[in-house]
């Protein structure tokens, strides 16, 4: 495993981090984590050098932190940097922040959080947290030792990103970045801005919710196969990110032990500035092909869920994108027919669009899904 110093914290973190939003589940229920498999995966990762574990209050219906807390028993907690996040949207008072942090410490079975982030900051949550004196909370939690370093995860535009970076002596930030999202949200400009200010940078959605690693279009496969060094789509996606020396840790949301094993092997070669110009050119060609095929900008983050009308929004968009990108409309239509929570159930309340980090016009795109698959 390779390690990098995370910003100016002095902490050496593995370039591969374990993101725990997509742990294995039982019966397809996101809130029912297969704890035995999850613990096996997490401990395998730690035993093979991964020392950065990322979770959050709402992941897996609020179960992720508890699962991680159990998995990190028997001496594993001391081997890792543990990151979790304040549920920004639930804060209604200064006291709420302490209450949530204390609850998270209990869930995680620990006395302190290494990296405590404000979750999913955007134009709505940021003013809310400032109103309730979030800086006083962070300073207090640092002073009493409940947290060691501060940070935030981000889903909005570049102007707001700079405002937040400049507002407090943060230690790190977490942004969405991959070779498809160089100009999306904070993007590459945000990466460089944060690094220039001394912040460590963690990357989420390195494979865009898995879309860059599965059902590869023929045109994309031909490009990858033309490279002098043959790599899997997963390796191309991760190596693209590790090529940036400004990136400290890349979070992978691994669902199977095989994913952990493969990613650990790939990380052995994740050196900065190691891609050739020809390899960077191939990545740019792949990006253009995907860009021409993508119908709706959805990473499957599930921040839009649950829908009051029962629409499974990410699944609807997954079928739509798969049908368009891979030219498999009939196959995806058949899969869609068995979906509970179809697009046609949408009542256009708009609640989902208020929560969507990608600012996707969800209501209009659900109509597209319904037209394609139901009529």
Domain end, chosen from 259, 290, 321, is at 290
Please say if the pLDDT value at position 79 is more than 90: yes
Catalogue the E-assigned strands of the chain. 3-5, 12-14, 16-19, 25-26, 29-33, 52-54, 81-86, 113-121, 147-154, 172-176, 200-204, 249-252
Question: Domains in the chain: how many in total?
Answer: 2
| Residue-wise pLDDT tens digits, 216-231 | 888 999 999 999 999 9
Question: Based on the domain organization, do 281 and 325 belong to the same domain?
Answer: no
Across the range 366-375, mean pLDDT stands at 94
Q: Per the domain annotation, does 306 fall within a domain? A: no
Question: Based on the domain organization, do 356 and 255 belong to the same domain?
Answer: no
| Residue-wise pLDDT tens digits, 170-214 | 999 999 999 988 988 899 999 999 999 999 999 999 998 887 888
Work out the number of other CB atoms within 10 angstroms of the CB of residue 105.
18
Question: Based on the domain organization, do 281 and 328 belong to the same domain?
Answer: no
Domain hosting residue 325, numbered range = 313-374
Please say if the pLDDT value at position 81 is more than 80: yes
Closest CA to 220 of 125, 314, 169, 287: 287
Query: In this predicted structure, which of 2-11, 195-204, 208-217, 242-251 has the lowest mean pLDDT?
Result: 208-217
Domain end, chosen from 255, 290, 325, is at 290
Question: Based on the domain organization, do 126 and 227 belong to the same domain?
Answer: yes
Give the pLDDT confidence score for residue 170 in this predicted structure. 98
Give the pLDDT confidence score for residue 291 in this predicted structure. 82
Q: Residue 353: which pLDDT band, with cuts at 50, 70 and 90?
A: very high
What totals of helices (H) and strands (E) does the chain contain, helices first? 16, 12
Query: What pTM value is reported for the model?
Result: 0.84
Q: Residue 20: which pLDDT band, with cuts at 50, 70 and 90?
A: very high
Question: Based on the domain organization, do 338 and 252 belong to the same domain?
Answer: no
Q: Residue 99: which pLDDT band, with cuts at 50, 70 and 90?
A: very high
| Residue-wise pLDDT tens digits, 269-325 | 999 999 999 999 999 999 999 888 888 988 778 889 999 999 999 999 989 988 887
Question: Based on the domain organization, do 256 and 178 belong to the same domain?
Answer: yes
Query: In this predicted structure, which of 10-19, 166-175, 326-335 has the lowest mean pLDDT?
Result: 326-335
Give the pLDDT confidence score for residue 293 in this predicted structure. 82
Which positions ≥6 away from 127 have C-beta within 8 Å?
Answer: none
**Mean pLDDT, rounded, of the chain:** 95
Domain end, chosen from 290, 305, 330, is at 290
């Amino acid at each position: 495993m390779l390690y990098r110093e995370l910003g100016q914290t002095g902490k050496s973190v593995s370039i591969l981090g374990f993101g725990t939003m997509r742990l294995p589940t039982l019966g397809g229920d996101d809130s029912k984590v297969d704890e035995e498999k999850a613990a096996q995966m997490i401990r395998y990762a730690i035993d093979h050098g991964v020392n950065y574990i990322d979770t959050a209050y709402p992941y897996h219906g609020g179960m992720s932190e508890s699962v991680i807390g159990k998995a990190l028993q028997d001496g594993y907690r001391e081997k890792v940097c543990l990151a979790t996040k304040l549920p920004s949207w639930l804060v209604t008072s200064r006291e709420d922040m302490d209450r949530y942090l204390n609850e998270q410490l209990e869930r995680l079975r620990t006395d302190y959080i290494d990296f405590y982030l404000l979750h999913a900051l955007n134009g709505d949550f940021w003013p809310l947290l400032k109103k309730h004196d979030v800086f006083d909370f962070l300073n207090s939690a640092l002073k009493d030792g409940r947290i060691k370093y501060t940070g935030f995860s981000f889903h909005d535009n570049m102007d707001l990103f700079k405002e937040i970076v400049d507002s407090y002596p943060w230690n790190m930030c977490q942004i969405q970045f991959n070779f498809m999202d160089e100009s999306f949200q904070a993007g590459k400009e945000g990466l460089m801005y944060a690094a220039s200010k001394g912040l460590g940078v963690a990357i989420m959605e390195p494979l865009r919710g898995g879309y860059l690693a599965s059902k590869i279009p023929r045109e994309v496969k031909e490009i990858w196969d033309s490279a002098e060094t043959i790599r899997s789509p997963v390796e191309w996606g991760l190596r693209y990110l590790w090529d940036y020396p400004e990136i400290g840790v890349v979070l992978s949301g691994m669902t199977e032990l095989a994913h952990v094993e493969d990613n650990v092997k790939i990380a052995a070669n994740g050196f900065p500035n190691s891609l050739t110009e020809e390899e960077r050119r191939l990545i740019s060609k792949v990006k253009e092909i995907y860009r021409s095929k993508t119908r709706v900008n959805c990473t499957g983050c599930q921040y839009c869920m649950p829908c009051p009308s029962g629409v499974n929004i990410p699944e609807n968009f997954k079928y739509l994108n798969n049908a368009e990108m891979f030219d498999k409309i009939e196959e995806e239509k058949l899969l869609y027919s068995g979906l509970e929570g179809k697009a046609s159930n949408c009542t256009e309340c708009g609640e989902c669009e208020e929560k969507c980090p990608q600012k996707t016009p969800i209501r209009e795109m659900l109509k597209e899904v319904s037209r394609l698959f139901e009529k």
